[in-house]
Amino acid sequence: MMDLSWLATAFVMGLLGGTHCVGMCGGLSSAFTYALPERSRHGIALVGWQLIYNSGRLLTYMLLGLLAGFLLTGLQNLGGVGTAIRWFAGLFMMLLGAYLAGWFQALATLERIGGPLWRWMAPLRQRLLPIKHPGQALAAGMLWGFLPCGLVYSAMALAITRAEPSQSALVMLAFGLGTLPTLLVTGTASAQLRRVLQRPGTRQTAGALVILFGLWTLIGPELIPHGQHHHESSMTPAAVNHEQMNHEHMDHGSMHH
């Protein structure tokens, strides 16, 4: 049974990172809007097309998470390695928070490293334009998922802490869903709302919160009793309740004896 706190962390990280998405993906999202036929650039039709684009992006994120999970399967069973990966993810998230807030730009270097692959994909993106049917939009969205982005790299760092393919993919899906509200706004709403999201105060608040999530990733599991963490994290809530009832029944029986 997956610990849902990891999914919640990934979702909130994507949601708070929306201030970064406006700058990184805003231009691309707008370009996809103008790649549509004129009649599809407004109202509900535009929202529908943006959902298709973003579905492709989320699909790429899930595939990346799945690949990471396959490569790292079994590492969680090696206590020292699993802890090292968790610390790596926590520190990466703290760097992301500082990056979002504009306090420390280390992740900008990583984004530049991914630039050559993005440029290599440029002809593929061009072949899909203009967008005439949903299949093209989905494929364009999947290519969008490879945009070099410190936020995505941080989500991948979090995903590899699960070291199990399906769980890593779910972490990336949760992250992608967290980014979805901002990117739908970026693709369909007013420039005024985008400016609000990019205000220094908004970015700094989001960055500080992501740093706190990074700290929790580092030290949170240490605050949970070791045996309880491993035992209960592998049980469903119903199983936990059943076991508690069994303990209560045994305690009640021992009182009678």
pLDDT per position as a tens digit, 32-89: 888 888 888 887 888 899 999 999 999 999 999 999 888 777 665 555 666 777 787 7
Residue 216: per-residue pLDDT: 79
* Residues 112, 114, 117, 118, CA torsion sign: negative
Q: Which tokens hold the place of 33?
A: 């809007």
Residue among 9, 1, 4 at smallest CA distance from 155: 9
Is the Cβ–Cβ distance between 155 and 172 less than 8 Å?
Answer: yes
Neighbours of 68 (CB within 10 A): 22
DSSP symbols for 51-99: HHHHHHHHHHHHHHHHHHHHHHTTGGGSHHHHHHHHHHHHHHHHHHHHH
Residue 14: is it exposed, middle or buried by C-beta count within 10 angstroms (0-12/13-18/19+)? buried
Residue 198: per-residue pLDDT: 67
Residue 135: per-residue pLDDT: 94
Q: How far apart are CA 73 and CA 76, in angstroms?
A: 7
Per-residue confidence in pLDDT tens, the chain, 257 aa: 456 777 888 898 888 887 777 767 777 877 888 888 888 888 788 889 999 999 999 999 999 999 988 877 766 555 566 677 778 778 888 888 888 878 887 777 777 888 888 899 989 988 988 898 999 999 999 999 999 888 898 888 888 877 688 888 999 999 999 998 888 877 665 556 666 666 777 778 887 888 888 887 777 666 555 544 444 444 434 444 444 445 444 454 444 44
Neighbours of 112 (CB within 10 A): 10
Q: Which long-range contacts (CB under 8 A, 24 or more apart) does 196-200 make?
A: 197/18, 197/19, 197/22, 198/19, 198/22, 198/23, 200/102
Is the Cβ–Cβ distance between 20 and 185 less than 8 Å?
Answer: no
Q: List Cα–Cα distances, 30 to 26, 27, 142, in angstroms.
A: 6, 5, 16
Residue 249: per-residue pLDDT: 46
Q: What's at 35, amino acid-wise?
A: A
Q: Tell me the backbone φ, ψ of residue 121, rounded to 5 degrees.
A: -80, -5
Q: How far apart are CA 222 and CA 27, in angstroms?
A: 42
Residue 52: per-residue pLDDT: 94
Q: How far apart are CA 198 and CA 124, in angstroms?
A: 30
Residue 75: per-residue pLDDT: 60
130: preceding bond cis by omega (within 30 degrees): yes
Q: Which tokens hold the place of 201?
A: 């105060």
Residue 225: per-residue pLDDT: 56
| Global confidence as pTM | 0.76
Is the Cβ–Cβ distance between 120 and 178 less than 8 Å?
Answer: no
